């Protein structure tokens, strides 16, 4: 069996598991979002600010992926919501099997998918591999920071094409870095016309209200789908 056949089999198996997860999310009215970016673009900082703004009674949980360490989980756990670290040990992405396994393990701690409204997945820092693996999520969200290049959407078109929202992060640094936000947005929309883009800063808080409103609107949509289903 050649490499292409093996990769196709793996992706097919992942898709089956992802569809099962997607059906579970829909049945229970759970919104699942998959955050994807290069390393250092500010995913964890954004999640800190997101959880900080959540009502303490909110039914929210986070799965965060990294090659090694549980540093991100420790950072996020201080906000009082269920958080689990998925340590991949070298794998450059999360897959549906990993998500399903950790959701099942959570049941042992009395955290069930049926008790959630929002599941946030923080993928491994990588713009390539995560674009191929469906996690059953309602939406992929790609982050692009002002410390990167404006041409990232053109270099890594797959993930920008598949993501319905781009968060342009670290915009507080714009006065200090040679980065054109307008060109970055233009490049993103060359790959994905009509893509929604929100500028945010986890340092100053700029744009976070728009981000939270986007999440709330999608949660309400997922809840209504669950009721209808």
Distance from C-alpha of 122 to C-alpha of 62, rounded to nearest angstrom = 7
The CA distances from residue 100 to 20, 24, 75, 96, 107, in Å, are 9, 11, 23, 6, 11
Of 32-46, 81-95, 166-180, where does mean pLDDT reach its minimum?
Answer: 81-95
Distance from C-alpha of 179 to C-alpha of 151, rounded to nearest angstrom = 10
DSSP type of residue 124 = -
Residue from 64, 21, 39, 50 nearest 128 by CA: 39
What is the pLDDT confidence band of residue 81, given thresholds at 50, 70 and 90? Answer: very high
Kindly report the number of other CB atoms within 10 A of residue 175's CB atom: 7
20: pLDDT strictly greater than 60: yes
What is the pLDDT confidence band of residue 140, given thresholds at 50, 70 and 90? Answer: very high
The CA distances from residue 159 to 15, 89, 126, 153, 164, in Å, are 17, 23, 10, 8, 10
Residue from 174, 163, 164 nearest 201 by CA: 174
Of 5-14, 28-37, 90-99, 139-148, where does mean pLDDT reach its minimum?
Answer: 5-14
| Domain containing residue 41: CATH number | 3.40.50.300
The predicted pLDDT at position 69 comes to 83
What is the pLDDT confidence band of residue 44, given thresholds at 50, 70 and 90? Answer: very high
8: pLDDT strictly greater than 70: no
Percentage of the chain modeled with pLDDT above 90: 77
10: pLDDT strictly greater than 90: no
The predicted pLDDT at position 115 comes to 86
Region 162-188 average pLDDT: 98
Please give the model's pTM, rounded to 2 decimal places.
0.92
The predicted pLDDT at position 208 comes to 98
114: pLDDT strictly greater than 90: no
11: pLDDT strictly greater than 90: no
Region 123-148 average pLDDT: 95
The predicted pLDDT at position 228 comes to 62
What is the pLDDT confidence band of residue 110, given thresholds at 50, 70 and 90? Answer: low
Query: Structural domain of residue 123, as residue ranges?
Result: 3-228
The predicted pLDDT at position 84 comes to 93
What is the pLDDT confidence band of residue 105, given thresholds at 50, 70 and 90? Answer: confident
Distance from C-alpha of 22 to C-alpha of 145, rounded to nearest angstrom = 29
**Looking at the 3D structure of the chain, how many domains does it have?**
1
């Amino acid at each position: 069996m050649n490499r292409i056949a093996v990769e196709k089999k793996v992706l097919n198996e992942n898709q089956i598991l992802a569809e099962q997860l997607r059906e579970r999310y829909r049945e229970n009215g759970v919104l699942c979002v998959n955050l994807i970016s290069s390393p250092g673009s500010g995913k964890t900082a954004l999640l800190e600010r997101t959880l900080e703004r959540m009502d303490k009674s909110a039914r929210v949980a986070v799965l965060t992926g990294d090659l090694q360490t549980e540093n991100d989980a420790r950072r996020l756990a201080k906000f009082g919501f269920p958080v689990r670290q998925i340590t991949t040990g070298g794998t450059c992405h999360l897959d549906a099997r990993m998500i399903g396994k950790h959701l099942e393990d959570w049941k042992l701690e009395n955290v069930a998918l049926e008790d959630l409204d929002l599941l946030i997945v923080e993928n491994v820092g990588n713009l390539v591999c995560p674009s191929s693996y469906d996690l059953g999520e309602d939406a992929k969200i790609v982050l692009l920071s002002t410390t990167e290049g404006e041409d990232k959407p053109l270099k890594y078109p797959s993930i920008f094409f598949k993501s319905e929202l781009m968060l342009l992060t670290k915009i507080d640094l714009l006065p200090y870095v040679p980065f054109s936000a307008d060109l970055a947005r233009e490049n993103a929309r060359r790959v994905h016309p009509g893509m929604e883009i929100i500028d945010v800063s986890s340092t100053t808080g700029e744009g976070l209200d728009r981000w939270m409103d986007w999440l709330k609107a999608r949660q309400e949509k997922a809840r209504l789908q669950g009721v209808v289903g």
